[in-house]
Amino acid sequence: MAFVVTENCIKCKFTDCVDVCPVDCFHEGPNFLVIDPDECIDCTLCEPECPANAIYAEDELPSGQENFAQINAELAKLWPSITEVSQPSADAESWNGKPNKLDLLER
């Protein structure tokens, strides 16, 4: 079972989670991070590090966020791996907690 980055990461893209990942399973897109389910070892270290509370165990995804398991799997194959913490989006705090951001996901 893998962990999944969900909608609240869109346009925030905090990378605190990347720093604690022992297997470098995070991948970075223009305005979103994803976890490669084939690389994730279910260690749980990333979940509490996310300032946006956007990371969940696949079997504990909030209602309406189930599609993000497939989105993570798909985009992890396309986007480069990220292994170092970087600055979040300049306006990350203003996007944190805003609903209905899926249409804003840049692939």
Domain 3-81 in this protein, CATH class: alpha beta
How many contiguous H segments (helices) and E segments (strands) does the chain have?
A: 3, 4
| Dist CA 100 CA 10 (whole Å) | 10
Question: Token pair of 57, please?
Answer: 């165990």
Look at the block and give the residue holding tokens 């600055």.
87
pTM: predicted TM-score of the whole model, two decimal places: 0.96
Q: Which of 4, 35, 7 is nearest to 102 (CA)?
A: 7
The contacts of residue 77 (CB under 8 Å, 6+ apart) are 36
Q: pLDDT per position in the chain (107 positions), as tens?
A: 899 999 999 999 999 999 999 999 999 999 999 999 999 999 999 999 999 999 999 999 999 999 999 999 999 999 999 999 999 988 999 999 999 999 999 99
Please state the domain extents for the chain.
Answer: 3-81
